[in-house]
Amino acid sequence: MKRLQSVSVNTLKTKPKKSNSMKGLARREKIDGWLFIAPFIILCLVFFVGPLLIAFMLSFKEYSFLDSNSMFQAKWVGIQNYISVFKNHTFQRALLNTTRYSLFVVPIQLVIALCLALLVNGSIKGKSFFRTVYYIPTQTSAVAVAVVFMFLFKKDGLFNKFISLFGLPTYNFLSEPAFALPVIMLMAIWSSVGLYMVIFLAGLQDVPDSLYEAANIDGASKWQSFRFITIPLIKPTIFLNVVVSLIGCFQVYDQAYVVSQGNGGPLDSTMTVVLFLTRTGFREFKMGEASATAFILFAIIFILTLIQRKFFGEETAM
Amino acid sequence: MRSKKVIALLLCAIMTAALFAGCSKKTDTQGNKPANDQDVIVTLGCWASSDAETKLLDDQIQAFQNAKPHITIKKQVITGDYLQGIQTKIASKTAPDIYYLDVSLAAKFINEKLVDPIDKYLDKADMEDFFPNLLEGYQKDGKTYGIPKDYNPLVLFYNKDMFDKAGIKPPTTWDELKEAAAKTTANGVIGLTLENDPQRFGAFILQNGGKINDGDKPAFNTPEAAEALDFYYSFAKNKTGATYKDMGVDWAGPALAQKKTAMIMAGGWVIPFMTQNAPDVKYGMVPLPKGKQYGNLLFTVAYVLNKDSKHKDQAMDVAKFLTGKDGLKLVADSGLAIPSRKSMANEYVSKFPDRKALIDATPGSTVANYGLNGSKILDVLGKAGEKIQLGKADSKTALKEAEDACK
């Protein structure tokens, strides 16, 4: 009894003390935690969130970098910037071009990437060699790729020499409005297919072999096991790839810049939304309209991603 | 244990601080001591160019340093897109004291009051030595805002061998140009190289008595301009002319160097390119042929004075030296560009007699300043050219559409 009492007294005595130190520890850990992520958080705030907010503000102002006023003193113009961007014929053309570009590039590039992934996922000889080879174009800078493609497709370039062997007419692909954008599409597909292949490959390797074995025993054909096992199981990967590829496509800039020497020609056929944005901001000195363009592009990509999420089902949400 | 934590905390703090180390504003300590104007640093904004041109500027700077050691010139080379680079510098108030400004941007920069009028620093008598049509590009309401450092007019470069073979002389009129193009087009060689660039075909509009702009407004939707474009693109129709893109090269220079064409319209910038890439090609230069009258474009770059400069007097000392007789003599001797002073032009011709055409082409030419909406005007005119060349519209419609797009 006496002993017990002393124990209980002891616990009574130590309990608040202990919880106090626990609280202190938790608080210290919290502070340490914040301190450890501080470098990233500050970087993110200064170089990402801050500019984002400022750009959003600018999209409602009339401002150019040449103004003697600072951007905070610039005149508010409401949604005037958005209206004039939508009314701009060059922007309409740019949006059309970018949409056409994405509609072609995304499906073709993903189908090719999936086929390549299936190929190098199988048990063919030298598969790591092929994996590397298909991935290399992804590592090449877009500008270098554009220069090589310009060399291939110019008037006396290799491609024209090749088709003239068959008696076909030669074109100056890069200054024909009908062909300039397709050349850029081809360039984009070729150069980024490897990236999506690698992501598909990772998805494919997560599919357990036992499922294929079971299907095989049940007499499923190769196509059936692809259609009913592979596709459903890599659905999250497909979703991810579609989203990433679509975002990349809507932001196409460097290839178009190099091919058209920065002006989106011939006849605006390679004018993309981002190219229009930089031209508006830096050549025509309308930073407000350029920022508005950026947020229109953001809204488009955001809505498209939401639609895809609906389409692929909630469970694939990243 | 405790000391470890202190160290970890310190490291964290240092890492965070390090992120901003680069952001700190560089203050030149000398600049904060205005007690005497000794040891002032003047920053000079320029673009990155070829090694030879970089060396020329360095030599000029060196010559200045020898003459006035108490002012130190610091070059601020803007790599990549110059206009984009200088804009960000202006917006962040870190623009150099004096900087290069292309004449096509002069109207905009003057209108936005980014550059100061410099008349009070200039010696009026001395300014008489500059080509007046160059200075015009940097003048507004009777005030001068920049001193041209060098310039280039357009001239006709022609392949001498091809002309000898065809038995013709360099053209001096539109008719002769037509004939020359027809006679030199043979065996895969195209007579005249065309460009869908108003900075080239604009010269033809001027030669036909037309205009590109009237102050800040477009003035190209006229019968004179349409006629000029009809003439310019008639070469494409007759297959005696083609764009350099159609010849499979990146600009007009290589078309001449690779003997794909007999004639190109270009400025002196082609000369170093030809010396380096095609020493075997014999070429000559003549002023552009005349239409109803002589007309041509002048491309120039000037030093302008940043309105926020802290050392305006010293900065103008630098600008005046670099465009002074001694400074421009170095330019004349290098042969890389044509000095903007008449007196140095003679120097240039005596050193490079075969380039006399570049000087002869200067009087009667218009400086390439297209007013406040210059970039828009160039943009829509370029598209008009593309439309005509691709056969999508005739000159009249294309120019009308271009004018509408300017509104």
Contact B392/A at CB under 8 A: yes
Residues 266-305 of B with CB under 8 A from A: none
| Neighboring chain A residues of B19 at a CB cutoff of 8 Å | 39, 42-43, 46
Tell me what pLDDT residue A11 has: 47
Q: Which residues of A touch B392 (CB under 8 A)?
A: 267
A134, exposed or middle or buried, with CB in 10 Å at 0-12, 13-18, 19+? buried
Which residue among B375, B382, B390 places its CB closest to the CB of A283? B375
Q: Are residues A131 and A270 in the same domain?
A: yes
Better-scored residue on pLDDT, A113 or A14: A113
**B201 with B187: CB under 8 angstroms?**
no
To 10 degrees, what angle do helices B374-389 and B198-207 make?
A: 90
Residues A103 and A250 in one domain: yes
Examine residue A112 and state whether it is found in any structural domain, yes or no: yes
Residue B287: beta bridge partners? B155
Confirm or reject contact between A232 and chain B (CB < 8 A): no
The alpha-carbon gap from A187 to the nearest alpha carbon of chain B, in Å, equals: 19
pLDDT at A276: 92
Residue A19 pLDDT grade (very low, low, confident, very high; cuts 50, 70, 90): low
Residue A19 domain flag: yes
CB B340 within 8 A of CB B131: yes
The pLDDT of residue A12: 47
- Average the pLDDT over A265-282 and give the result: 88
Cβ–Cβ contact B405 with A under 8 A:
yes
How many domains does one find in chain A? 2
φ/ψ of residue B95, rounded to 5: -65, 150
| Cα–Cα distance measured from residue B102 to residue B109, given in angstroms and rounded to the nearest whole number | 10
Beta-strand ranges (E) seen in B53-211 are: 71-78, 98-102, 139-140, 143-144, 146-153, 155-159, 190-194
- Do A146 and A239 lie in one domain? The reply is yes
CATH superfamily of B35-151+300-359: Periplasmic binding protein-like II (3.40.190.10)
Which residues on A lie below 8 Å from B90 (Cβ)? 65-66
Q: Say if A65 falls within a structural domain.
A: no
Tell me how far CA of residue A99 lies from CA of A185, A192, A193, B192, B221, in angstroms.
12, 18, 19, 39, 34
Whether residue A98 is found in the same domain as residue A40? no
Mean pLDDT for A14-31 is 74
Indicate whether A4 pLDDT > 50.
no
Residues whose CB is less than 8 angstroms from the CB of residue B39 and which lie 6 or more positions away in sequence, other chains included: B30, B70, B72
* Nearest residue, CB atoms, A66 vs list B108, B246, B405: B108
Higher pLDDT, B336 or A210: A210
Domain boundary among A58, A74, A95: A58
Q: What is the pLDDT of residues A140-170, one digit of tens each?
A: 888 888 888 888 888 778 888 888 888 888 7
Mean of pLDDT over chain A: 85
Residue B162 near residue B262 (C-beta atoms within 8 A): yes
Please say whether the beta carbons of B365 and B153 come within 8 A: yes
pLDDT score at B32? 44
Q: Are residues A144 and A279 in the same domain?
A: yes
pLDDT for res A105: 93
The pLDDT, as a whole number, for residue A10 is 47
Q: Please give the pLDDT value at position A89.
A: 87
* Listed residues A23, A42, A58: the one ending a domain: A58
Where does the pLDDT of residue A40 fall: very low under 50, low under 70, confident under 90, or very high at 90 and above? very high
B35-151+300-359 and B155-295+373-406 share one fold: yes
Amino acid, res. A265: G
Per-residue pLDDT of chain B (407 residues; tens, 9 = 90+): 566 777 776 766 676 666 565 555 444 444 444 445 568 888 888 888 778 888 888 888 888 888 888 888 888 888 888 888 888 888 888 889 999 999 988 888 888 888 888 888 888 888 888 888 888 888 888 888 989 988 889 999 998 888 888 888 888 899 888 888 888 888 888 889 998 888 999 899 999 888 888 888 888 889 888 889 889 999 888 888 888 888 888 888 889 988 889 899 998 888 888 888 888 988 989 999 988 889 899 899 999 998 888 888 888 888 888 888 888 888 888 888 888 888 888 888 888 888 888 888 888 888 888 888 888 888 889 888 988 988 888 888 888 888 888 87
A37 and A158 share one domain: no
Q: What CATH number corresponds to the domain at position A188? A: 1.10.3720.10
> Do A49 and A119 reside in the same domain of the chain?
no
Per-residue pLDDT at A318: 46
Q: Is residue A127 domain-shared with residue A38, that is, in the same domain? A: no
Q: Supply B59's token pair.
A: 């030599």
**pLDDT-derived band of residue A18, with 50, 70 and 90 as boundaries?**
low
Domain that holds residue A41: 2-58
The sign of the dihedral angle between the CA atoms of A46, A50, A54, A59 is positive
* Amino acid residing at A309: R
User: Is A68 part of the contact surface with chain B (CB cutoff 8 Å)?
Assistant: yes
Based on the fold, state whether residues A87 and A229 are members of the same structural domain.
yes
Fold exhibited by the domain B155-295+373-406 = D-Maltodextrin-Binding Protein; domain 2 (3.40.190)
Hey, where are the domains in chain B? Answer: 35-151+300-359, 155-295+373-406
**Residue ranges of A 112-131 with Cβ closer than 8 A to chain B:** none
What is the per-residue pLDDT across A214-242, written as a single tens digit (0 to 9) for each? 988 988 888 888 888 888 888 889 988 99
Contact between chains at A267 and B390 (C-beta distance less than 8 A): yes
Interface contact B11, partner A, CB < 8 A = no
Which residue reads 């999508």 in tokens? Answer: B392
Give mean pLDDT, residues A118-143: 84
Coil, helix or strand for B92? coil
Size of interface A-B (CB pairs under 8 A): 77
Cα B81 to Cα B55, B85, B87, B355: the distances in Å are: 21, 6, 10, 30
Q: What are phi and psi of A24, to 5 degrees?
A: -60, -40
Enter the tokens of residue B322. 């670099």
Residues 214-253 on B with a CB inside 8 Å of A are: 243, 245-248
d(CA B285, CA B362): 13
Inter-residue contact A225 to A215 (CB < 8 Å): yes
Residues A150 and A289 in one domain: yes
User: What pLDDT, on a 0 to 100 scale, did the predictor assign at position B63?
Assistant: 87
Residue A237 φ then ψ, to 5°: -65, -40
Burial of B188 (0-12, 13-18, 19+ CB in 10 A): exposed
Give every CB contact of residue A241 below 8 A, 6+ residues apart in sequence. Answer: A110, A113, A196, A199, A200
Same domain, A53 and A90: no
State whether A54 and A87 are in the same domain: no
Residues 149-168 of A with CB under 8 A from B: 154-157
* pTM as predicted: 0.80
- pLDDT of A17 > 60? The answer is no
